[in-house]
Amino acid sequence: MGGEALPATANPAARVAPLVLGLQASALVDHVARVDWSLLDQLPGERGGSIPVEIEELEHILSEVKTHVISSPDDSLPMKTIAGGSVANTIRGLSAGFGVSCGIIGACGDDEQGQLFVSNMSSHAVNLSRLRMKKGPTAQCVCLVDALGNRTMRPCLSSAVKLQSQADDFTRADFKGSKWLLLRYGIINLEVIQVAISIAKQEGLFVSLDLASFEMVRNFRSPLLQLLESGDIDLCFANEDEAAELLRGSEGEPKADPEVALEFLGKHCRWAVVTLGSNGCIAKHGKEIVRVPAIGEANAVDATGAGDLFASGFLYGLVKGLSLEECCKVGSCSGGSVIRSLGGEVTPENWQWMYKQMQTKGLTLPHIPK
């Protein structure tokens, strides 16, 4: 049996199907801290990547953070603990910054972290009636940010509660009436992803897939290619490293150009986007290809959530029927807003910054329900 469903909020809008649904099998809490290089040098694995760890390793890293943390004048706390995970970041951004009705399908533990996830997401008007609360721990992730704003992640997912595809954790009724399903590629949840895509397609939803990390693409390329080639993915987001790994053959081969990866993704998906960090992004829809510069890179404090919030802006554009170029411009504004402070959540001041950027570019500002 699945866990207990959280009650919908008192808001009557919660009973209407959210326009956008995010599937995050395990609710996740991020511990985000700015640290010096010496701590990053101690960790096995490539800097900038994401490698799963057990709870003991996560707790060890958290204890080490205290002696390696770099405080910055604009942050009141050296470490931020907030609801995290790529899908949660995108959904929260769409709801809080763009006023798009969103819900999350997932599972959280009956622990302190689970409560934190629930209160953080519900405070941003995300519909949690499809989030199951189960007995056990909530997933956690340490996000270590270096002096240049690059982040290295160590998620702890193995013992965490998660959605089960064979249980009644989600049903067709959860998808009915929504327009988009957002997913992040992950081998640990591949079965759940496949079942969710199948239901979403039966219910007429568009499906968006984020490629997660270059390690995930490198290590589990074959099932990913099958997903993409199925024709069920309408929109795909990849960053430069993920795009390079996607078409890389044997170890010795050079990495593919982002343009080549975009061409490949565009063959299988209606919309394809490759984000290029400080070089902006390239996107393809049908025969149209656009390139849009980055915004706000000069003020990068922490790259955590840049791709996730880019997706929020891009999806807002699609929902509103904007052109491909405008979708990319909104994505660049929202991606630029989150990197101005620590963590994957945009502060109220940085939403205001984003609206100013959108205004100067002649983009329609979202109507945010009070």
Q: pLDDT by residue (tens digit) across 254-267? A: 677 899 999 999 99
Looking at residue 31, its pLDDT comes to: 94
Which residues touch 304 (CB under 8 Å, ≥6 apart)?
A: 30, 32, 143, 145, 151, 338, 339, 342, 343, 344
**How far apart are alpha carbons 105 and 98 in whole angstroms?**
20
pLDDT tens-digit readout, 300-322: 777 778 999 999 999 999 999 99
Query: To the nearest whole number, what is the mean pLDDT of the chain?
Result: 91
* Residue 1 reports pLDDT greater than 60: no
Is 324 a domain residue? yes
Better-scored residue on pLDDT, 255 or 70: 70
* Burial class of residue 24, CB neighbours in 10 A (0-12, 13-18, 19+): buried
- Which band of pLDDT confidence, cut at 50, 70 and 90, is reported for residue 11? very low
Is 6 a domain residue? no
Count of all residues that appear for the chain in the document: 370
Is 216 a domain residue? yes
**How far apart are alpha carbons 88 and 313 in whole angstroms?**
14
Looking at residue 151, its pLDDT comes to: 86
Is 31 a domain residue? yes
Looking at residue 301, its pLDDT comes to: 78
- Residue 139 and residue 165 in contact, taking contact as beta carbons nearer than 8 Å: no
State the alpha helices, DSSP H only, in 3-162.
Answer: 37-42, 55-68, 86-98, 112-122
**How far apart are alpha carbons 65 and 349 in whole angstroms?**
27
Note every long-range contact of 36-40, with CB atoms under 8 Å and residues 24 or more positions apart, other chains counting: 36/68, 36/70, 36/146, 36/147, 37/146, 37/147, 38/68, 39/64, 39/65, 39/68, 39/144, 40/144, 40/146, 40/152
- Which band of pLDDT confidence, cut at 50, 70 and 90, is reported for residue 340? confident
Beta bridge partner(s), residue 104: 22
Average confidence (pLDDT) over 246-273: 85
The pTM assigned to this predicted structure is 0.91
Residue 50: count of CB within 10 angstroms of its CB:
18
Is 299 a domain residue? yes
* Residue 20 reports pLDDT greater than 90: yes
**How far apart are alpha carbons 364 and 305 in whole angstroms?**
23
Of 304, 322, 306, 319, nearest to 358 by C-alpha is 322
Local structure of 235: helix, strand or coil: strand
- Which band of pLDDT confidence, cut at 50, 70 and 90, is reported for residue 370? low
Residue 129: count of CB within 10 angstroms of its CB:
16
* Domain count across the chain: 1
Average confidence (pLDDT) over 61-72: 87
CATH at residue 33: 3.40.1190.20
187 φ, ψ (degrees, to nearest 5): -70, -35
pLDDT tens-digit readout, 144-198: 988 888 889 999 998 899 999 877 899 999 999 999 999 999 998 999 999 999 9
Is 245 a domain residue? yes
Domain assignment of residue 242, given as a range: 17-361
- Residue 240 and residue 275 in contact, taking contact as beta carbons nearer than 8 Å: yes
Is 36 a domain residue? yes
Residue type, 14: A
**How far apart are alpha carbons 337 and 312 in whole angstroms?**
11
- Which band of pLDDT confidence, cut at 50, 70 and 90, is reported for residue 13? very low
- Residue 26 and residue 106 in contact, taking contact as beta carbons nearer than 8 Å: yes
Looking at residue 17, its pLDDT comes to: 95
Looking at residue 5, its pLDDT comes to: 65
* Residue 289 reports pLDDT greater than 60: yes
- Residue 168 and residue 66 in contact, taking contact as beta carbons nearer than 8 Å: no
Looking at residue 368, its pLDDT comes to: 81
Residue type, 263: E
Is 26 a domain residue? yes
Looking at residue 218, its pLDDT comes to: 92
